[in-house]
Amino acid sequence: MKTMFNKPPSSPASPRDLTSRVHFTDLCAGYPGRPVLRQLTADIARLTTTALVGPNGSGKSTLLGVLAGVIPPTSGDIRHSGERSPAFVPQRGAAGEALPLTVRQTVEMGRWGERGPWRRLTRRDRSAVDAALERLGIGDLAPRQLGELSGGQRQRALIAQGLAQESDLLLLDEPTTGLDPEARERISALLTALVADGVTVVQATHDLTAARAADACLLLRNGRLAAQGHPDQVLTASTPTRIRHLL
Closest CA to 192 of 223, 225, 215: 215
**Whole-number pLDDT of residue 236:** 77
**Coil/strand/helix, residue 173:** strand
**Whole-number pLDDT of residue 234:** 93
Can you give the length of the chain in residues?
A: 247
Residue stretches of the chain with pLDDT short of 50: 5-13, 94-95, 239-240
**Coil/strand/helix, residue 245:** helix
Neighbours of 153 (CB within 10 A): 18
Q: What region, left, alpha or beta, does residue 144 occupy, with left being phi > 0 and alpha being psi -120 to 50 degrees?
A: beta
**Whole-number pLDDT of residue 73:** 97
Domain boundaries, the chain: 96-166
**Whole-number pLDDT of residue 246:** 56
Cα R_g (the chain), whole angstroms: 18
The per-residue pLDDT for range 156-190, each reduced to its tens digit, is 999 999 999 999 999 999 998 888 888 889 899 99
**Whole-number pLDDT of residue 7:** 39
CA–CA dist 107, 177 (Å, integer): 20
**Whole-number pLDDT of residue 95:** 46
- Written as one string, the DSSP assignment of 16-73 is HHHHEEEEEEEEEEEETTEEEEEEEEEEEETT-EEEEE-STTSSHHHHHHHHHTSS--
Q: Does an H or E element contain 125, and which?
A: helix 123-135
